[in-house]
Chains A and B, each alone.
Chain A
Amino acid sequence: QVQLQESGPGLVKASETLSLTCIVSSGSISSYYWTWVRQSPGKGLEWIGYIFHTGTTNYNPSLKSRVTISMDTSKRRFSLNLNSVTAADSAVYYCASRTGIRGYFDYWGQGSLVTVSS
């Protein structure tokens, strides 16, 4: 069983950087691809990217130029940085664990609402 909890500011100013952290409170750090997914209000799910414990990352091409996902295995946490944000980046941001590089998202955090203000 993996337990995940997102944390970070709920309000970010336009053009600044959105930063969120996900704490992995249980489960093996080396067994999953640690992932960020977002959901704009009333919209569907959008994959942002993942990091493996080796440091390997992969990002959604539509966000790649603005996204960095990093990990601190000793602290059992991984982080999302999304720069140059606009109102379109306002969303609920979920962290999730993914089983296998082509696999499914088996555990999810509760989500963190981030609003971008002008």
Chain B
Amino acid sequence: SYEVTQSPSVSVSPGQTARITCSGDALPDQHAHWYQQKPGQAPLLIISRDSARSSGIPQRFSGSSSGTTATLTISEVQAEDEADYYCQSVDSTGTYVVFGGGTRLTVL
């Protein structure tokens, strides 16, 4: 079955830039979407279709995709950005949804 892969954790200091990657063979042809999940909360869509920021999401959140890797970039990280981040896409046929395993962002 198709999978997309994320690194389990990223740690940055406040004010630095965090980059979270999502790798998958179908990403050249399929969009990646990104969700933020804080403890006890439902996931929140922050980036759709590789790079479209959702309404109300700060400009420091941006997304890009190149080849088999999609990247979520958080510039000038703040303490409130500490959360789990999930990428989501579909397989090459567009039939089945896949989520990455999630990346825990720790703000030091």
Number of residues from A at the complex interface, CB < 8 A: 21
Complex Cα gap A103–B47 (Å): 12
Q: Check B88–A104 contact: CB distance below 8 A.
A: yes
CB-nearest residue of chain A relative to B102?
A: A44
Interface string of B41-75 (1 = CB under 8 A from A): 01111001100001000000000000000000000
List residues of B whose CB falls within 8 A of some A CB: 1, 30-31, 33, 35, 42-45, 48-49, 54, 86, 88, 90, 94-102
Q: Which A residues touch B42, using CB under 8 A?
A: 94, 108-111
**Contact assessment for B43 and A60 in the assembled complex, using a CB-CB cutoff below 8 Å:** no
CA of A44 to CA of B90 in the docked complex: distance in angstroms? 16
With A and B bound together, what is the CA distance between A103 and B89 in angstroms? 8
**Residues of chain A having any CB pair with chain B under 8 Å:** 35, 37, 44-47, 58, 60-62, 94, 101-106, 108-111
Q: Is the CB of A104 within 8 A of B86?
A: no
Min CB distance A28 to B, Å, is: 18
Q: Which 7 A-B pairs rank lowest in CB-CB distance, beginning with the nearest?
A: A104-B33, A47-B97, A108-B42, A45-B99, A104-B48, A44-B102, A102-B94
Decide if B35 touches A105 in the complex (CB within 8 Å): yes
Given contacts A47-B98, A58-B96, A94-B43, 6 further A-B contacts (CB under 8 A): A45-B86, A58-B95, A104-B31, A104-B33, A104-B45, A111-B42
Report Cα–Cα, A35/B45, bound state, in Å.
15
Q: How far, in Å, is A61 (CB) from chain B's closest CB?
A: 6
- 21 A–B contacts, CB within 8 A, in A order: A37-B99, A44-B100, A44-B102, A45-B35, A45-B43, A45-B86, A47-B96, A47-B98, A58-B95, A58-B96, A60-B96, A61-B96, A94-B42, A103-B33, A104-B49, A105-B35, A105-B43, A105-B88, A106-B45, A108-B43, A110-B42
